[in-house]
Chain A
Amino acid sequence: MGEILDNQPAIEMRNITKRFVDVLASDHVNLSLYPKEVVALLGENGAGKTTLMNILFGYYQYDEGDIFVHGKKVSFSTPKDAIAAGIAMIHQHFTLVPTQTVLENVIIGVEGGFFLNLGRAKKKLLEIEKRFGLNLDPDAIVSSLSIGKKQKLEILKALYRDAEILIMDEPTAVLTPQETDELFVELKELRNKGQTIIFISHKLGEVFRLCDRVTVMRDGAMIATHDVADVDRQTISNEMVGREVRLSFDKEPASPGEPALKARNLSYVDDFGITMVDRVSFSLRKGEILGVVGVDGNGQSELVRILTGSAKTLTGSVHKGDQDLTNAAPRRIRKAGVAHVAEDRMTTGTALPASIADNLLADRYADPTYTGRGGFLKRQAMAQTATDIVRRFDIRCSSPNQSVASLSGGNMQKVVIGREFTATADVLIVSQPTRGVDIGAIEFIHSTIMAMRDAGKAVLLVSSDLGEIMSLSDSLIVMHAGRIVAYFPSAAAVTDTELGLYMLGLKSQDETEIRMVLHE
């Protein structure tokens, strides 16, 4: 735990209240942040974390309450005011110019005047890098940097603007374990040099590794603040959700059967001529969850698109039993018994303006159960099925006729899961099942995936959440630069540090080890 040397808070928010029309997004919130500490702001989606940070950063005006910076009352009307007061916000999605250098990105919007004094700016940047122990070549082109380095650049941008308070919105969501470790070392160094860091995250493990204090929000209100040393995960989870949460489940060992889906030698080249999937082969067995691990953008999405019919492979084949599904249309792949939880529920997984019922039946409306002779829909049967799925998957809504757009992210995802997991399929391709979903729904979705496996279905699980994939998968393949670089028959036998080495492409198994995944 970081020592609080200074008794005056760097930032103090008192009684901050914010209403949107008549929704209380921020309910008399009090938050004090001291120099030299890392504070975690935890809460489910919609708990009010983002609103609170947007207030602090001057995006939103608040209705009641006061903000003090170093004991002085302030009022921010734009982010500019907040930046001037030493507050910086680092978003999950970077705001960088890829074609320019690190230095140029740092000074954008800061160095005024007609002539740029690049030399002086570079000197200042190097001084900052030295002081905070952040090493980054000022002349490197941004597009050539890894994601971890881009994030470092974002932090440097903030420091260059003399920021003392850094708000970091889920900074580890896009990082590998190694990059996360490095980031944490750097953030701790920043803290020791006197900075205040607000760390917004879903991941409890990281909060415990990095933070000094943790503050939990729920429904716009501050629920509790703890010193991290004095609290455990269970307490915090319960506070976030507002009830008892089951954090881990007992997993029965898998008993994999025959290969259900055989992918052989798949390749995909994108529109820019980049090989995204490079001769990938594997077999997916009945009754097992095969996890696909990799840093985002290493071909996992494209592999799934090939398997589900929205992209064409240049080489090789996909077979399910004796059915050839190579480059088949989504309709035929679904008919063959392959269901697919799409990675993006907003653009692909649902039709937002359509009703929950229409979304739930989109893959099966043409079955004789729902479409009678003459093409007439059997609305009774459709409503019945929709209501059943809504109940079984606990989709919180006032009626199945409500539009999907009006649902929360978690419930929207349950619509996707509800449809795909009730389809008559024995192969499930599940992409990012819990991205941006709150803890309560995650718990439910995870146990549903396990139940599918236990029912003998073959599950291919792709997720950027390493924790999720490690706890659910029976076996793992690691993808790097479009290739399978490792296969682990038992997911339990591998550590995330070791996985990280493969994910970064630092290590690769030999051909015979990888070929084990063919199960021939």
Chain B
Amino acid sequence: MNKHQEKRSLGKSISMFFTDREALEPALITLFAALFSLLAGVALIFLVSKEPVQSVQNFLLGPFLRKYNIYYMMIAMVPLTFTGLALCIIYQSKHMSLIVDSSFYIGAVVATAVGIHLTLPAGVHPAVAMLAAGTVGGLIGLLPAILKIRWRANELVSSLMLNYVFYFVGSFIILYFLRDRNQSILSSLPFKTTFLLPRLVPNSQLHAGFIIAAVFVVLVSIFMYRTKWGYEIRLIGANQKFASYAGLSVPTVILYSHFVSGFLGGVGGAIEISGLYKAFIWQVNPSYAWDGVIVAMLARKNPKFVPISAFFLAYMRVGADFMSRRGDVAFEFITLLQGMIILILASDKIVNYFKARRLKRTALQQSGQARAVAGGL
């Protein structure tokens, strides 16, 4: 019995991962979903392309063949990581809010205002923007939670509706308060240079947001698995009725989990805007929340795995983009592959098949042990 008290070494936990079927199976299914979607992508290319071999090569290997493509992947990972983390928290609490879309978008708008109107030293400037964007994002995240607690409104529905509202609120703010009227296209006034995130590699777009994202992965993992708040979120996700019975204040947990999730979205929006742009020029909402859904699902709601799944999604994106610019397959085929991933991951039957098989095995072993014990007596 003492073995559970020992501090597990990394090697031991890795080897345990491979022997612990409860942990291994979901990982295998996720891996299967990823590989299957890639294979399906290859098959699809062979169906539609006139030069399939070249296209497949561009799709699968392209992201690694050019240095700038590698930077692209890293850049693309940043917003995916933030929305993925935000949705991991929501999903762990068994809620479905997609309000992080608004948090991200409004976060970018708030950061824009900070970037234009405040005068602060470099380094502090984007940090203040992130904090402001995160706070506003968190407050927006609270709305579906309040509607849910107060009136039992389904948070998925209300968040989807609110996303429209906030998109237009954001556009309104940019158009009426922050717009650069000297520009012919829709653009905000230019940011102060102190607001821009430093570049990690000269002459590339790879910005410091990549490192900040990595830090947040660690922070959110600690939050979810090492603090009492994470414990509470996981507990209401496991069984809300039980959580309330055990003495948790379920509404409080719902509120702060939504706030933290929205906060992450807001920070993500601020980083995206200060890392890649010199002014706010989004004509449409980039809607990273939907990508966040895939990232969170691929990561099995575990923040630890978010970088891996964000990388995978970024890899597919950059590959598809590279291929489409050099061949005859449209970039949009990526949506088919994403759909496939979701379908596989969402089909509980596959997961349950393995689960049932394992449960039956354990039951057999236990009854075997019981018989052995009974025989010994």
Contacts and interface: CB of A to CB of B under 8 A. Distances in A.
Interface of A: 20-24, 46, 219-220, 242-243, 308, 310, 329-331, 334-335, 340, 342, 347-354, 358, 362-363, 365-366, 370-371, 374-377, 379-380, 383-384, 386-387, 390-391, 396, 399-403, 406, 408
Contacts of B370: 219, 242
Given A376-B227, A396-B366, A334 B239 contact: no
Contacts of B361: 21-23
Contacts of A383: 4-5
A243 B377 contact: yes
Contact of B235 (A242, A351, A379, A380): A351
Nearest to B6: A383
Contact of A362 (B229, B242, B249, B377): B242
The prevalent SS among residues of B at the interface is helix
B1 A348 contact: no
Contacts of A349: 242, 245
A347 B1 CA distance: 29
Interface in B325-364: 357, 359-364
Contacts of A340: 245
Given A358-B238, A383-B4, A219 B367 contact: yes
A399 B227 CA distance: 22
A387 B3 CA distance: 10
A391 B5 contact: no
Interface in B91-142: none
A363 B246 contact: yes
Contacts, number: 114
B241 interface: yes
Nearest to B231: A365
Given A335-B247, A377-B226, A391-B1, A22 B360 contact: yes
A352 B1 contact: no
The 10 closest A-B pairs by CB, nearest first: A242-B374, A351-B238, A351-B239, A362-B246, A331-B247, A354-B238, A23-B364, A334-B247, A351-B242, A375-B227
B94 to A, nearest CB: 10
A399 B241 CA distance: 25
Given A330-B245, A400-B4, A403-B22, A352 B238 contact: yes
A310 to B, nearest CB: 7
B204 interface: no
B228 A365 contact: yes
B27 interface: no
A351 B5 contact: no
Contact-size category for B: 35 or more
Interface of B: 1, 4-5, 22, 226-229, 231, 234-235, 238-239, 241-249, 357, 359-364, 366-367, 370-371, 373-374, 377
B241 A348 contact: yes
Given A46-B367, A242-B370, A354 B239 contact: yes
A348 B22 CA distance: 24
B89 to A, nearest CB: 15
Contacts of B4: 383, 386-387, 399-401
A384 B5 contact: yes
A350 B234 contact: no
Given A352-B238, A387-B5, A379 B226 contact: yes
Nearest to A354: B238
Contacts of A331: 247-249
A406 B362 contact: yes
A315 B229 CA distance: 36
A23 B249 contact: no
A335 B235 CA distance: 19
A216 to B, nearest CB: 13
With a 10 A CB-CB cut-off, give which of B234, B247, B370 has the most chain A CB atoms: B247
B231 A21 contact: no
Given A375-B229, A399-B4, A362 B235 contact: yes
A179 to B, nearest CB: 32
Given A23-B360, A351-B238, 15 more contacts: A23-B361, A23-B367, A219-B367, A242-B373, A243-B374, A329-B249, A330-B247, A351-B243, A352-B239, A354-B239, A358-B234, A370-B228, A383-B4, A384-B5, A399-B4
Contacts of B367: 23, 46, 219-220
A400 B233 CA distance: 20
Which of B231, B361, B366 is most buried by chain A, counting CB atoms within 10 A of its CB?
B231
A387 B360 CA distance: 25
Nearest to A371: B228
Contacts of B366: 396, 408
User: Most A CB atoms within 10 A — which of B235, B367, B373?
Assistant: B367
Nearest to A359: B242
Given A358-B234, A366-B228, A348 B5 contact: no
Contacts of B371: 219, 242
Contacts of B247: 330-331, 334-335, 362-363
A245 to B, nearest CB: 12
For B229, B238, B359, B373, which residue has the most chain A Cβ atoms within 10 angstroms?
Answer: B238
15 contacts: A21-B361, A347-B239, A351-B238, A351-B243, A358-B231, A358-B234, A358-B238, A362-B235, A362-B243, A362-B248, A363-B246, A377-B227, A377-B231, A406-B362, A408-B366
A281 B364 CA distance: 49
B227 to A, nearest CB: 4
A331 B239 CA distance: 16
